[in-house]
Amino acid sequence: MKLTIKDLKSQYSSYRGPVYACENINFDLDDGESIGIAGESACGKSTLGLSIIRMLQGGKTTGTILLDENSILDLSDSEFDQQYRWKKISMIFQGAMNSLDPVFTIKDQFIEVLKQHNYEGDSAQLIKDAMKSVSLDEIVLKKYPHELSGGMKQRVIIAMALLLKPNFVIADEPTTALDVLIQAQIINLLKKLKKEGMSFMLITHDLAVLSEIADKIGIMYGGQMVEFGSSHDIYKNPKHPYTQGLLKSIPTLRGDKPTYIKGVPPSLLNPPTQCRFLDRCPQAMEKCKQLPPKFKTDSGYVQCWLYEDEST
Ligand code: SF4
């Protein structure tokens, strides 16, 4: 599925005023490509995912989202439900494995998902296919959530997202709160699904994971996508000082001491009109007191005044 995002803005209402969670987000993915979205907590990553699947609670989204050239923000809720949600695009929500209902078997919970989406076909076969796709034995269908390990519960949640065979899945921190062995299992599972033709938007703060699984990476900071490009370029040749800082904070086997980025992200209640990384940037200069436009890079763009000359 081809995905194009143009000038996407999402904001929440709060008693202190609007929260500008995502602003002027732009990127596109070709059919079969996957993207990783990385950045600190509250940078707008999850809001971006929820905006694309039109499940933003207490907020509104403007701009353009094209799925295979169709503008999904122009559809009514029921049209989007009937044509897209869970059928062409689905989501693995953050912490979703803890939302499995403890008093129902896994099978009953799958059936509930199918009911919610008015599925009228062969539900037994569909559930069987979904379990197979995440390498879970059918015996698991008879079990209750408390009888499953964390890794099995997360596989069940992924299977639920795959139930109606969507070709694009938004996965919000699918490995958070899992131990490293189970994290590896889930990442290997996502890699397997990708090989079988599934596309992902993988939301995480773990750039190392993204470099393994994503074709493209978008780095978010303060509600904006400050760098976008191929995962190879972002990982091997990061341009934005924030991306560089994120990569330096990852421990390496070479023994390089990880460093951290001093300071805190800006408030999205009243975001600055200058570069949002200004207060924390080690390379800040006078010009940075204005918000930088997006300058082209080999495989995408970077929003930083350091690259003004290279783009002309
Ligand atoms: Fe740093 Fe300036 Fe680039 Fe912002 S625009 S990231 S302050 S160098």
Across 99-118, average pLDDT: 93
Across 130-152, average pLDDT: 92
- For 112, phi and psi rounded to 5 degrees? -60, -40
User: What is the enclosing helix (H) or strand (E) of 63?
Assistant: strand 59-67
**d(Cα 80, Cα 228) in Å, to the nearest integer?**
28
Q: To the nearest whole number, what is the mean pLDDT of the chain?
A: 91
- pLDDT of 221: 96
CA-wise closest residue to 212 among 193, 246, 183, 235: 235
Would you list the DSSP string of 27-61? EEE-TT--EEEE-STTSSHHHHHHHHTT--TTEEE
Encode 219-255 in three state secondary structure. Answer: EEECCEEEEEEEHHHHHHCCCCHHHHHHHHCCCCCCC
Indicate the pTM of the whole model. Answer: 0.93
Strand partners, 218: 37, 228
- The residue nearest atom 3 of ligand 1, judged by CA position, is 304
**Is 73 near ligand 1, meaning CB less than 6 Å away?**
no
CA of 260 to the centre of ligand 1 (A): 17
Residue 77: pLDDT band with limits 50, 70, 90: very high
Nearest ligand 1 atom, CA 278: 7
**d(Cα 286, Cα 52) in Å, to the nearest integer?**
36
Across 199-210, average pLDDT: 88
Nearest ligand 1 atom, CA 281: 1
Strand partners, 233: none
Whether 135 shows a pLDDT value over 60: the answer reads: yes
